[in-house]
Chains A and B, each alone.
Chain A
Amino acid sequence: MDPNQPVTENYSNPKTCFFHVLFKAAALAFYILSAIFFNSFVIIFVVTVLLAALDFWVVKNVSGRILVGLRWWNEINDLGESVWRFECLDQESLARMNKKDSWLFWWTMYLAAVAWIILGIFSLIRFQADYLLVVGVCLTLSIANIIGFTKCRKDAKKQIQEFATQTIASRFSSTLQSAFSVI
């Protein structure tokens, strides 16, 4: 490594970033370009929705974990109630997360959702109900991920705050204890 090189942060998980973007872009591209090549709505629908679902899974299970250290899911507890769980890495790891990675993660999610909204508006204007169905499904998936991860992030921040106060409190009390024991 050249010591004179300025320290620039690169993507620390290029493969994951690639896949994170790949399926979103593929779904959008396929949807937009398919009108030119395919006549059959069925193929367009199935492939687009499949790509969107794959993207949903990848973001939720893989890139969310690796790029920003967050995860969310739903459980049904013993009482039969549904509980949303949010999971995050501890604070140190979160702080070490690559900034570029997380920037890419969040922005591509938002951009993809916006793109689907725009496509939805187009199909609404053209009164194409079946294409609206496709857009609706893809949009639902994108928004679900956005909401899930946003909640997860808020939860993580809250936990960090609690953790910090707890640590401070326990340190303080142990300091007091040791101070008193010396006396």
Chain B
Amino acid sequence: MSNQQNYGDTIPLRSTHLHSSSSQSDIDEIENLIHSSLSSSSPVVPSPVPPASSARTPSPPRAQIPVSSSLPPLPPTSHKPLPIPVVPSVHIPAAPPVPSSSNPRSGIEGFGPPPNTLTEPVWDTVKRDLSRIVSNLKLVVFPNPYREDPGKALRDWDLWGPFFFIVFLGLVLSWSASVKKSEVFAVAFAVLAAGAVILTLNVLLLGGHIIFFQSLSLLGYCLFPLDIGALICLMKDNVILKIIVVSVTLAWSSWAAYPFMSMAVNPRRKALALYPVFLMYVSVGFLIIAID
């Protein structure tokens, strides 16, 4: 009788229990316990608790820059694994973190949201962030079924992709310049970065609904075609070719940015929101052509 405790009480204890051993099997046991009690006591199981083996898989509930984001979250790197070995102490024998998200479910929610991101190995974090960059790029720049629903498409924004694209564009422009390389780079970077911020503010001031970082992220990813164009122009110095390449990539960039920007504002103000974006890409295009 007195030993019988409802789960509301055992939850605080789970942490102490788990601390005694750091093996994943303990967590499995406890989860099974809770599963069985849940399924017997109530027909409704909260959100599906994933098997512990997949507890390490990706991130935050939904579907992780920036890195992380966050505030100007410029999370992760691209290429090589960071020279950080997987620190063994990462498997902190801790219970799943207490999420600050308001969970309406009752006491068991400690196990609910799977993302145990606090104890995942470093390599997982790197991989997660890298795959996020790739998927964002695909969503924004290439045709895909989510294009007409921009809210869904760039939900997982990150600023790493844009960061690398802007730096890359600056580098290519600077490389193609025969004089004043430093100024070219600085100007390109500043114009692109400031331009993205100003364009976002423009949308917000027009009464549009877009999240600041989402929009920055979007405008950065849309630079990808221009990056390719700049690279091609770097390699071939023919003016006609340059004009053709730049026009094509310019059109591609604008096409990529169009749905996101237009969805965000009132239909009557679409042109007002889109025109500056187009203008910015045109000016970058001119930079690419004019550099000799």
Contact B213 A57 (CB under 8 A): no
Determine whether A84 belongs to the interface, using a CB cutoff of 8 Å to chain B: yes
Using a Cβ–Cβ cut-off of 8 Å, how many residues does chain B contribute to the interface with A?
Answer: 69
A12 to B89, CA, bound (A): 9
Interchain CB contact under 8 A, B117 and A87 = yes
Interface of A is mostly: helix
By the criterion of a CB under 8 Å from any partner CB, how many residues of chain A are at the interface?
A: 62
Q: Cβ of B138 < 8 Å from any Cβ of A?
A: no
B77 at the interface (CB under 8 A from A): yes
Report Cα–Cα, A164/B171, bound state, in Å: 54
For residue B83, give the distance in angstroms from its CB to the closest CB of chain A: 8
Q: Which residue of A lies closest to B67 (CB)?
A: A57
Residues of A within 8 A of B76 (CB): 57, 61
**Nearest opposing residue in chain B for A129, CB measure:** B186
Tell yes or no: A82 within 8 A of B by CB. Answer: yes
Question: Which residues from chain A contact B8 at a C-beta distance below 8 Å?
Answer: 170
Contacting pair A57 B181 (CB below 8 A): no
In contact, B163 and A53 (Cβ under 8 angstroms): yes
**CB–CB B181/A75 < 8 A:** no
Given A92-B19, A133-B186, A174-B9: A73 and B118 within 8 A (CB)?
Answer: no
Q: Is the CB of B97 within 8 A of A76?
A: no
Listed by A's residue number, 9 A-B pairs whose Cβ atoms lie within 8 Å are A15-B85, A57-B68, A57-B76, A57-B77, A60-B75, A74-B71, A88-B100, A147-B71, A178-B2
Chain A residues near B (Cβ < 8 Å): 12-13, 15-16, 19, 40-42, 45-46, 49-50, 53-54, 56-58, 60-62, 65-66, 69, 71-77, 80-93, 129-130, 133, 140-141, 144, 147-148, 155, 159, 163, 167, 170-171, 174, 178, 181-182
